[in-house]
Amino acid sequence: MQRSGERSLRKLLAVSVITTMAFTSSVVSQHVLPLNVVQASAELEKSLPLGQANLRETRQKIVLAPGLTHTRIVRGKQSEKDVYIVDVAFCSTREEAETIAKRLNKDGYHSRVQRISERAPDAPDHGPLGYLVRVGSFKTEADAIKLRDELTAKGYEKLRVVYSGEDGGKTTGPWVVNVLEVDPKQFKGKIVPELGTEIVPGKEKLSSIADRTKALAAINGGYFVMGPNDGTEGDLAGVSMIGGNLISEAVNGRTSFILNKTGAQVAAVETHLSVTASDGAKRELDGLNRKPGLIRGCGGTGDTTDHPKHDFTCTDTGELIQFNPIFGQTTEPGDGVEAVLDSAGKVIEIRDQRGGSIPREGSVLAGTGDAADWLRIHAKVGAKITVDTQVLADGSLLQVDKTTGIVNGGPRLLRDGKVSITAMAEGFHWTDNPEFFYRFGERRNPRTLAGVTSDGKILLVTVDGRQPGYSVGASFKESALIMKSLGATDAVNLDGGGSTTMTIGARLINRPSDPAGERADGDAIVILP
């Protein structure tokens, strides 16, 4: 039998095409709408702070359930001034950039050096971030690709074809923004994290996750391991908690999105994990439910990975990792030692290799290097191993119950209603490669954002990008301003790029940037009836 909520959702989607409201500055033209849509449209926010104030902006807004609305915002248009360019090099000094530019000029290409002035807002250094060497100005991407290939044949390396509308400077857009707003005081359903594939390894498309969970709506979640060279594929690259159970350790100090029975919280999250044997020996527990030795995003404790570094995989030859049934049937294989624990923490088996089965009512401690030595000495069969887990939010112990969920993210965008982008502290500014922040934070990219308003409403937002003529994306700063204009006082950046996706029901309603279409993700935030 078809559920009544699903019938209502389809009915609302059918009328959503006539819920358009045109925004020119603050002037609004309303059409005749169904009653529930008119009510949803009564509270109109100011237009988005993207581009010039007089850009045309349209909004479509529907009620998916009491206390749950979806708004689609389209702002601006493609600029005739935006072009395709070939980026040849990003240099730390002007002298280095000028040397490359002179070589290009000598080879017959008209080059230019562009100073990149903006650093991460919390970076201690001053002066320009770097200097960009560029060639070409084309109306079509095909012409820019042709020049790139020609330069590659002449020995130039690591060239990029980019669109100037995504540089982060002046443009008229366009921008496509989708907003899910949840009022916990009215909404009777649940907002919870959900793993792709229902276990840690593997990935799943958001539309599939939404269909499997019968979600009213859904949005992609946190950062995750894309491929096996960086750890367990699908493992969350940062903290993950579902139903009060810690699934993945934090990239310590990185801002995340916390969900509970009363609403949501944006906070810097830390996890402190340790094990104590019955003989009194104590050791740090390096991580949960991942391949030992590969730490995506870094930010561990007690080893050489203590500072976050986004999209980078730190290594450690000696790690102790706990595998729980949420990981699946078996642990990650390899050299080392495994101690199998029952539900009370009693050691029931010792293995001389990793890759064994995980008991349904217990766990496995897997050790490599010095951690394997520790298990051999202290985890004898019959001994008890106590695992201690602490989760801190903004420095205070987080009160956890069965409704608590955490989705990793970063950096923070808003704090107490003010723009506060902690890119340096959270590993999005590499001191050894300043180009990383330019590409990731200063240029416009697809973004997934989460925030909380002053009255406790939850905002889940996608900004489509990397699609000239459709949507150019947003920088970190623009993302913060978008969330502030929507009413958020605290906000965080979640996983974006090709992962940025939103569904109503199981239907994808945004346009992912990957050429292949919707990407499979590690986790999601699902809104359930």
What pLDDT was estimated at residue 126? 87
Report whether 255 contacts 422 (CB < 8 A): yes
Report whether 493 contacts 107 (CB < 8 A): no
Does the pLDDT value for residue 7 go beyond 80? Answer: no
Query: What is the C-alpha to C-alpha distance for residues 15 and 49, in angstroms, rounded to an integer?
Result: 28
Between 198 and 24, residue with greater pLDDT = 198
Q: What is the pLDDT of residues 367-413, one digit of tens each?
A: 999 999 999 999 999 999 999 999 999 999 999 999 999 999 999 99
Report whether 193 contacts 450 (CB < 8 A): no
HEC string of 157-176 equals CCCEEEEHHHCCCCCCCCEE
| CA 414 and chain centroid, separation | 16
> Which among 386, 169, 150, 188 is positioned nearest to 281, based on CA atoms?
386
Average pLDDT of the chain, as a whole number: 92
> In this prediction, what percent of the chain has a pLDDT beyond 70?
91
Query: What 8-state DSSP symbol labels residue 102?
Result: H
Mean pLDDT of 485-496: 98
Does the pLDDT value for residue 319 go beyond 80? Answer: yes
Q: What is the pLDDT of residues 402-426, one digit of tens each?
A: 999 999 999 999 999 999 999 999 9
Q: What is the pLDDT of residues 255-307, one digit of tens each?
A: 999 999 999 999 999 999 999 999 999 999 999 999 999 999 998 765 566 79
Query: What is the C-alpha to C-alpha distance for residues 234 and 251, in angstroms, rounded to an integer?
Result: 16
Burial of 414 (0-12, 13-18, 19+ CB in 10 A): buried
Q: What is the pLDDT of residues 234-246, one digit of tens each?
A: 999 999 999 999 9
What pLDDT was estimated at residue 23? 36
Pull the structure tokens for residue 303.
């080893």
What pLDDT was estimated at residue 302? 58
What is the number of other CB atoms lying within 10 angstroms of the CB of residue 260? 19
Query: What is the C-alpha to C-alpha distance for residues 313 and 421, in angstroms, rounded to an integer?
Result: 23
**Which of 25-29, 226-230, 473-477 has the least mean pLDDT?**
25-29
What pLDDT was estimated at residue 47? 94
**Biggest distance spanned by C-alpha atoms of the chain:** 76
**Where along the chain do its domains lie?**
4-78+172-222+409-528, 84-166, 268-397
What pLDDT was estimated at residue 45? 57
> Which among 443, 526, 524, 478 is positioned nearest to 205, based on CA atoms?
524
Does the pLDDT value for residue 16 go beyond 90? Answer: no
Q: Which CATH number is 268-397 given?
A: 2.60.120
Q: What is the pLDDT of residues 19-35, one digit of tens each?
A: 333 333 322 222 223 33
Query: What is the C-alpha to C-alpha distance for residues 155 and 441, in angstroms, rounded to an integer?
Result: 29
Does the pLDDT value for residue 485 go beyond 80? Answer: yes
Query: What architecture is the 84-166 domain classified under in CATH?
Result: 2-Layer Sandwich (3.30)
What pLDDT was estimated at residue 125? 86
Q: What is the pLDDT of residues 37-85, one digit of tens each?
A: 433 333 345 899 999 999 999 999 999 999 999 999 999 999 999 999 9
What pLDDT was estimated at residue 30? 27
